[in-house]
Amino acid sequence: MASYLDMELLRFTTAGSVDDGKSTLIGRLLYDSKSIFEDQLEAVKVASERMGNKEFNLALLTDGLRAEREQGITIDVAYRYFATPKRKFIIADTPGHIEYTRNMVTGASTADAAIILVDARNGIVEQTRRHSCIASLLQLPDIVVAINKMDLVDFSKRIFEKIQVEYGEVAKKLGLKRVYYIPISARDGDNVVNSSERMPWFKGRPLLELLEELPVGGESRAAAGRFPVQYVIRPQKDEYHDYRAYAGRIAGGNFKVGDHITVLPSGSTSVITGIEEMGVELECAWAPESVAIRLKDDIDISRGDMIVKNDELPCISSEVSLLVCWLNHRPLRTGSKYIIRHTTNELIGIVKEIQFKVDVNTLDEVPGSVEVHMNDIARIRLKTAKPLKYDRYAENRTTGSLVLIDEATFETVGAGMII
């Protein structure tokens, strides 16, 4: 019981097409970790029969909306939850059809790791490369390559090793940091929760065990101290007459009482006199905790400002280069104005130049392309009305990311990673 109250949280995304057995794998993880309840099973049984499935279809556990069930496809990112005694997991389940890029970028933006599914019969295909490119662009620290349908290739060690070598080339080219390989059969459960007796040659851990042990949150804790001010707390109460605290979620590293800080963009400096986490006084707080910080000096600070440590200043510029994934039917255009949301800041930006489009299957530059459509990834130059206080996305996924919002429709149309 005590251990249940003290688990870590791992967010991961799953990439693969319907044919790779992605839904079956997720169904398997939920089913084997006993996260499926009887009434849900009953509903799936009924649905399986109605759709003419003779076998109980694990994939149906994750099909959400009626429109999707009718068409047999997944139209959006869905979030799934399960827990083992060691960890709580959040799966961003992204669909495998045409709008894939935009959905996978969305799912991967909050993930710590990606599971990339490969059909053992087909090996590395174009889609595998695309998924890997996106995982690399989004800077996911851990990649698990699950080589599925091993039952259909006679649990062949040779095939597993061949795919491993092939993927090694992809990983090297993309600069993926940590890659793990597991031969599985999602349908039968081999190497998913338990080690497979049918593949005694595989000495690694089964998938769930690996997921329980992947490191979480190390990158953001190791980053430079960043505190985007979200909200200013000023109680209208007599006993808190002079109280003023700056609320926000730490976006990188840590802050301690006594730290010398700089407030950007004003450049004013002060010292942290208190860190409060919802009524509890702390000596030190780490990313991604939501806290309220009090300062020694009474300086003018508002939402959108950023508190940083004196010796760890971020980049400040009103012109940045970024990789943008386009999310909307209306294409991106040079000279267009967009509302930019970056940390807690909102400002106007203008696209100065579309530098080149990126081939999502190779990450190579596509020469001579200027039109950026939905699901495209491009490198652009953006000028903002006021300077951005940022880090490169590779250094900090929170202070290095932004979204573009259409001025007329207010839709979120682009996702940007600052280079």
Partner 1 sequence: MGYGMNHLRELESESVYVIREVAAQFEKPGLLFSGGKDSIVMAWLAQKAFYPASIPFPFVHIDTGHNFEETIQYRDDLIKRMGVRLIVGSVQESIDKGRVAEEHGFNASRNKLQTVTLLDTIEQYRFDALLGGARRDEEKARAKERFFSHRDEFGQWDPKNQRPELWNLFNGKKHLGEHFRIFPLSNWTEMDVWQYILTEGIDLPNLYYTHEREVFERDGIWLAYYPFMKLKEGEKVIKKRVRCRTIGDITCTGLTVSEAYKVEDIVGEIAASRETERGGRRDDKRSEASMEDRKKEGYF
* 288-289-292-296 Cα dihedral, nearest 10 degrees: -70
CB of 354 to partner 1, least distance (A): 20
Is residue 65 within the footprint of partner 1 (CB under 8 A)? yes
User: Rounded CA gap, 395 and 13, in Å?
Assistant: 21
Site string for partner 1, 19-58 (x = CB under 8 A): ------------------xxxx--x--xx-----------
Burial class of residue 149 in the structure, from the number of CB atoms within 10 Å of its CB (0-12 exposed, 13-18 middle, 19+ buried): buried
- Backbone φ/ψ region at 68: left (φ over 0), alpha (ψ -120 to 50), beta: alpha
Nearer to partner 1, 37 or 283 (CB): 37
User: Of residues 272-301, which lie at the interface with partner 1 (CB under 8 A)?
Assistant: 276, 278-279, 286, 288-290, 292
Return the residue of 18, 315, 350, 403 that touches partner 1, per CB under 8 A.
403
User: Of residues 70-109, which lie at the interface with partner 1 (CB under 8 A)?
Assistant: 75-81, 83, 87-88, 90, 102, 105-106, 109
CB of 145 to partner 1, least distance (A): 24
User: Rounded CA gap, 139 and 64, in Å?
Assistant: 28
Site string for partner 1, 218-237 (x = CB under 8 A): ---x--------xx-xxxxx
User: Rounded CA gap, 24 and 30, in Å?
Assistant: 10
Nearer to partner 1, 6 or 197 (CB): 6
User: Rounded CA gap, 245 and 232, in Å?
Assistant: 6
Is residue 257 within the footprint of partner 1 (CB under 8 A)? no
- What string of DSSP letters covers 92-139? EE---STTHHHHHHHHHHT-SEEEEEEETTT-S-HHHHHHHHHHHHTT
CB of 250 to partner 1, least distance (A): 9
Nearer to partner 1, 125 or 233 (CB): 233
Phi, psi at 314, each rounded to 5°: -85, 180
91 alpha carbon, distance to own chain's centre? 10
Is residue 366 within the footprint of partner 1 (CB under 8 A)? no
User: Of residues 106-135, which lie at the interface with partner 1 (CB under 8 A)?
Assistant: 106, 109-110
